Amino acid sequence: MDGEDSKPMAKEKTNFQILSPPNTRDLVDSVDAFLFDCDGVIWKGDALIDGVPETLEALRSMGKKLVFVTNNSTKSRRQYAKKFNSLGISVTEDEIFSSSFAAAMYLKVNSFPIDKKVYVIGEEGIYEEMKLAGFDCFGGPEDGKKSVLFGSNSLFDHDKSVGAVVVGLDRCINYYKLQYGNLCIRENPGCLFIATNRDPVGHLTALQEWPGAGCMVAAVCGATQRDPILVGKPSTFMMDFLLQKYNIPTSRMCMVGDRLDTDILFGQNAGCRTLLVLSGVTNMETLKDPSNCIWPEYYTSSVSDIMSLSDDR
Amino acid sequence: MDGEDSKPMAKEKTNFQILSPPNTRDLVDSVDAFLFDCDGVIWKGDALIDGVPETLEALRSMGKKLVFVTNNSTKSRRQYAKKFNSLGISVTEDEIFSSSFAAAMYLKVNSFPIDKKVYVIGEEGIYEEMKLAGFDCFGGPEDGKKSVLFGSNSLFDHDKSVGAVVVGLDRCINYYKLQYGNLCIRENPGCLFIATNRDPVGHLTALQEWPGAGCMVAAVCGATQRDPILVGKPSTFMMDFLLQKYNIPTSRMCMVGDRLDTDILFGQNAGCRTLLVLSGVTNMETLKDPSNCIWPEYYTSSVSDIMSLSDDR
């Protein structure tokens, strides 16, 4: 399994197309599973995007598998399923692949020693997934209010048995956590540095973008001078789990997302069809900017177009 | 003036030499000004390094100019002079070139509009230098305890008149400051992003290294996807001020420091002689590592060797 950072590959500009009735019908017919990003695709902050429940329902009734692949690490799969259900969308935990779960699975498949501990710079989601996977973890929310005392002879002590530092979005980031992670990575031999994702910003509220995990991961890189192992999109680490579960070739999967450098690149890296929705962080200007080198197969304004266009006979 | 980030230049491995009595005498004779880094050279945390006061005194008595060029932005020049004097070393404010002062001077020489404000992610040093230079600044220490409320329709407001975000070491870094800086840089047209320095770690206490400004700067880069204007070492921005003040050619200056990627590179970029001391973050292993591509002209264990070796006739 490969959890290494996947860099965008130089690629010829493809003829990306706007979704239209004929190509939408072709796409739907030739795909058995739709992989959806969540933030900016299903919802923005806590606000559902128009037409999403009906679209998902219609796809399900056509026998399509629905999978939710999200880089947001602040929730566990359980917490995600709860959010979906609270918004009136029936989704089960095992249809959700969050980067918090991916981080725990990375340690699992790489036989992370049971006598080693995990230090978390992140929120509840990572913490819960680590515990569920049976790992001894600390940090995260419980270190959110800690501060550092600077005496001339004071020593900041850290646990030498930490074997992995997992970094995701952390809205309670502070200097204590940064130093804790820094010391573990620099001083504990072989300590892993795992990033749930590197999204620069995300729609944490409907009205604005906020610093994402990419901010905290960069901070740790800046101090440690180390590159992380990336488990979220665009890394295809999660794809092996998907393939094992659904037994569908990636050529019959379509990744639907709002970010070029995570969602669309993940889809392309995995060999999936790709559909960019403009309901999140990417707009037409960004998509058509000469500096952009990641193009989806299709683009459209939002998820509901999949059904409205394929119904338009 | 050029405040842009200076990247290490590929360079043939020079024959760097250990200080010895003959080459020390040659060096001292051919240099009119010694430029010293502070952390890891003069002191570690609050502990003076052995033999420093005597060495500085001896150099002064030989008519050498002494200049202190530090990337540490947590203090202003005034606060630095106070620290020197409290440690029994007589140094005046105008012998000190700190990255906090450099940030204020960068705005000054680039005619930063007086109706624009400066947002600070950093500590007292930056704050004080900005005020002394006449700039309207906020953030920094006063935002150290602020937190963010996430309501579904809450809007994080920011001042549209912020024209520069200055980022340095901030031991009270939090998500509020990161979002504030992020919004100013992303949304205020033409807003500058200035980094005092990018040191990954520093000896904030005698016993340990701690995340440096490079950690906070990387966090802001990670969120904004922008590169900063660097004013501290290895950028040679400060050299124009030094040249103006001392009227000594850089070939007759010697930069003495403990970091290859800041001090030694700064000295080389500016055309100075260079002396690495092993009393700080760099050890022989790092210096001789095959991946290292920055070599000083000379190296020695600590500053006091300059006098003990040149006296050794």
User: What was the pLDDT predicted at A12?
Assistant: 52
Annotated binding residues of B for Mg(2+), as ranges? 37, 39, 258
From chain A, the residues in CB contact with B86 under 8 A are none
The domain made up of A112-230 has a fold known as: Rossmann fold (3.40.50)
Domain residue limits, chain A: 17-71+234-311, 112-230
What is the C-alpha separation between A129 and B78, in angstroms, rounded?
A: 50
Whether residue B93 has pLDDT greater than 50: yes
pLDDT of B150: 82
The fold for domain A17-71+234-311 equals Rossmann fold (3.40.50)
**Which ipTM value was assigned to this complex?**
0.91
Cis ω for the linkage preceding B290 (within 30 of 0): no
Residues of B in contact with A203 (CB under 8 A): none
B94-B98-B100 Cα angle (round to 5):
115
pLDDT above 90 coverage of chain B, percent = 85
Question: What's the pLDDT score for residue A311?
Answer: 77
Q: Which tokens belong to A46?
A: 């806590």
Which of B43, B71, B210 to substitute to test the interface with A, most A CBs within 10 Å?
B210
Tell me if domain A17-71+234-311 and domain A112-230 are identical in fold.
yes
Candidates B44, B124, B182: best to mutate against A (most CBs of A within 10 A) is: B182
Cβ proximity of B130 and B164 under 8 Å: no
Residue of B nearest to A182 (CA): B211
B253-283 pLDDT per residue, tens: 999 999 999 999 999 999 999 999 999 989 9
Strand pairing partners for A294? none
3-class SS shares of chain A: helix, strand, coil, % to 5? 35, 20, 45
Q: Which of A154, A186, A218 sits opposite B219 (nearest CB)?
A: A218
Q: Choosing among B170, B221, B289, which should be mutated to test the A contact, i.e. which has the most A CBs within 10 A?
A: B221
Inspect the interface and report whether the beta carbons of B222 and A220 lie closer than 8 Å: no
Measure the CA–CA gap between B88 and B41, rounded to whole angstroms: 16
Tell me the pLDDT of chain A (313 aa) as tens digits. 344 444 445 455 667 899 999 999 999 999 999 999 999 999 987 889 999 999 999 999 999 999 999 999 999 999 999 999 999 999 999 999 999 999 999 999 999 999 999 999 999 999 999 999 999 999 999 999 999 988 767 889 999 999 999 999 999 999 999 999 999 999 999 999 999 999 999 888 878 889 999 999 999 999 999 999 999 999 999 998 889 889 999 999 999 999 999 999 999 999 999 999 999 989 999 999 999 999 999 999 999 999 999 875 5
Nearest chain A alpha carbon to B145: A145
Looking at the predicted structure, is the pLDDT value of residue B313 above 90?
no
Residue whose tokens read 């973890």:
A137
Q: Does B174 contact A174 at a Cβ distance shorter than 8 Å?
A: yes
- Could A175 and B211 be called an inter-chain contact, meaning their C-beta atoms sit closer than 8 Å? yes
B69 class by beta-carbon count within 10 Å (0-12 exposed, 13-18 middle, 19+ buried) = buried
The Cα A150–Cα A160 span in angstroms is 21
A218 closest CB neighbour out of B186, B212, B221: B221
Pick the range with the lowest mean pLDDT from A215-219, A244-248, B70-74, B82-86: A244-248
Tell me the Cα Rg of chain A. Answer: 20
**For B103-230, which CATH class?**
alpha beta
Q: Please name which of A96, A109, A110 lies closest in space to residue A245, comparing C-alpha atoms.
A: A96
| Cα–Cα distance for residue pair A118/A165, rounded to 1 Å | 6
* Residue B14 pLDDT: 61
Pick B178's closest partner by Cβ from A211, A221, A225.
A211
Residue A76's SS3 state is coil
Q: Do A151 and B216 touch (CB under 8 A)?
A: no
Q: Judge whether residue B152 has pLDDT over 80.
A: no
Least confident of B180-194, B232-246, B296-310: B232-246
Looking at residue A95, its pLDDT comes to 95
- List CB contacts (< 8 A) between A220 and chain B: 215
Whether B182 and A201 lie within 8 Å, measured CB to CB: yes
* B1, pLDDT greater than 70: no
Task: Quote the CA–CA distance of B10 and B117 in Å, as a whole number.
Answer: 39
Structure tokens at A26: 């072709």
Q: Which of A172, A186, A219 sits opposite B222 (nearest CB)?
A: A219
Please give the Cα distance from A254 to B97 (Å, whole number): 57
The pLDDT assigned to A145 comes to: 93
Give every strand in the sheet of A17-18, ordered side by side. A17-18, A298-300, A273-277, A253-257, A33-36, A65-70, A96-98
Query: Is the model's pLDDT at B203 over the cut of 50?
Result: yes
